[in-house]
Amino acid sequence: MASINAPKGVPDYVPPRSRDFYHVQESLSGSARRSGYEYIELPVFESTELYERGVGTSTDVVQKEMYTFTDRGDRSITLRPEGTAGVMRAVIENRLDKGALPVKLWYRGPFFRAERPQHGRYRQLQQVGVEAIGSVDPIIDAEVIAIADQSFRSLGLIGFHLELTSLGCKECRPAYRAKLQEFLSACDLDPETRERANVNPLRVLDDKREVVQAQLVQAPLMIDSLCDSCQRHYDEVRAYLSIFGVEWNEAPRMVRGLDYYTRTTFEFVHPALGAQSGIGGGGRYDGLMSELGGSELSGIGFGLGVDRTLLACEAEGLTPLIDHTVDIFVIPVGEEAREPAVSLLVGLRNAGFSADISVDNRGVKSALKVANGMKAPAVLILGPDEIKSGSIIVKDMDSGEQVTVSLEIVELVQLLQRNLHTKKEDES
């Protein structure tokens, strides 16, 4: 019988690489947690209408990339392609917008795009996202961007850069839209692109084809058409970013792939990843909540790609990010040592250590190979002689040195805490 493989474009993360994947996911959310953002758990699928109204019917996401199906109740359901629309739906439905503002939330998990799979572009992608809803203060814009920047830096990444621009607001966008449509009317565009220019001309600026980009060199830019309010907002965002210690590149031609973005818009790029160089991005969305039936509240957020961030870490030679599976590996020698070894294992775990035990009556040599494969810093060996004397052998796996110490759990825990703490300090 033939084996069954994972669907195309859906990556598996298995040990040892899964350790780094999990570490990346945890690190990307750490900065948000430290900044007072609270966790929100979102459904993996929602009503298709949510994304049609929230993301925009003219986007490639809605037109080409959504996994949509009809459920048993004859309802149109879509696997979530992005997180912001779902967060806004949850905020409205649970009346979070009626409490203290801004509402600051973070989330993580899988998202789904029916795209052509390639390196760094998957049909099931993993993201960590942040949304701050209910404030137009430029400090919030800068804070959100700084959280993303710090998230990447917490992993040791240095080869990325931030691209930043403003996409204006409902006051200044219409005049720019008309100016851009006039410019595009004189371009030689295929029928599909011409239709896109009529529905949402900014989407044409995001067209990666050289035949299109060559015609857009002289295209008018939104950044040159900002109203006074948007210009002040953008100036203040950049001033606060400097205070947060975040550097950026001006990117006046940047257009994100979702229709709801207004004003501050940004993307983090890692050139070492080639064509799929975007490792995260986001922006402000002034009209999204009201479009979904909620209050007239603005928000700003981002999505950081866990998959691509891991690829960036690998490109910079930062992996493995996690060098060992457990702190301590316990080896019982002989049948008599099995039960006290398990009791010791429980005591170590209760004391906060990550610990594992040798099973299947392996000999010491074989068990040490297992411990070495797990890169456990310390091994505890308990045999008949140690049981009789109330002691245990502690072996340092890096130096090979071993000492015999008391089996008394309190003393043993204190010794291991000192040794492992010293080892971590030496590594740092």
| Mean pLDDT of all residues belonging to the chain | 92
pLDDT at 275 over 90: no
Distances (CA, A) of 33 to 29, 146, 371: 6, 13, 34
403-414 tens-digit pLDDT? 999 988 888 989
pLDDT tens string 290-308: 989 999 999 999 999 999 9
Whether pTM > 0.85 for this model: the answer is yes
Q: What average pLDDT score do residues 30-43 get?
A: 97
Q: Is the pLDDT of residue 83 over 60?
A: yes
Contacts of 387 (CB under 8 A, 6+ apart): 336, 337, 340
Q: What is the average per-residue pLDDT within 131-160?
A: 97
pLDDT score, position 13: 95
Task: Please enumerate in sequence order all residues whose Cβ is within 8 A of that of 214, keeping only pairs 6 or more positions apart, or say none.
Answer: none
Provide CATH 3.40.50.800 ranges for the chain. 328-427
69 compared with 60, residue with greater pLDDT: 69
Going by C-alpha positions, the residue among 363, 136, 160 that lies closest to residue 246 is: 160
Q: What is the pLDDT of residues 329-354, one digit of tens each?
A: 999 999 999 999 999 999 999 999 99
Q: Is the Cβ–Cβ distance between 284 and 265 less than 8 Å?
A: yes
> Given pLDDT bands bounded at 50, 70 and 90, which one contains residue 57?
confident
Residue reference for tokens 């040599």: 365
What pLDDT is attached to residue 58? 67
For 17-172+226-315, CATH gives 3.30.930.10
pLDDT at 118: 87
Is 424's pLDDT higher than 70? no
Instruction: Kindly indicate whether the domain formed by 328-427 is annotated with CATH number 3.40.50.800.
Output: yes
Model pLDDT for residues 355-376, shown as the tens digit of each residue: 999 999 999 999 999 999 999 9
Where does CATH 3.30.930.10 sit in the chain?
17-172+226-315
Q: What average pLDDT does the segment 81-88 reach? A: 94
pLDDT at position 328 is: 95
Q: What is the pLDDT of residue 23?
A: 96
Mapped to the 3 state alphabet, what secondary structure does 20-47 carry? HHHHHHHHHHHHHHHCCCEECCCCCEEE
Q: Are strands 124-133 and 299-305 parallel, antiparallel or unpaired?
A: antiparallel
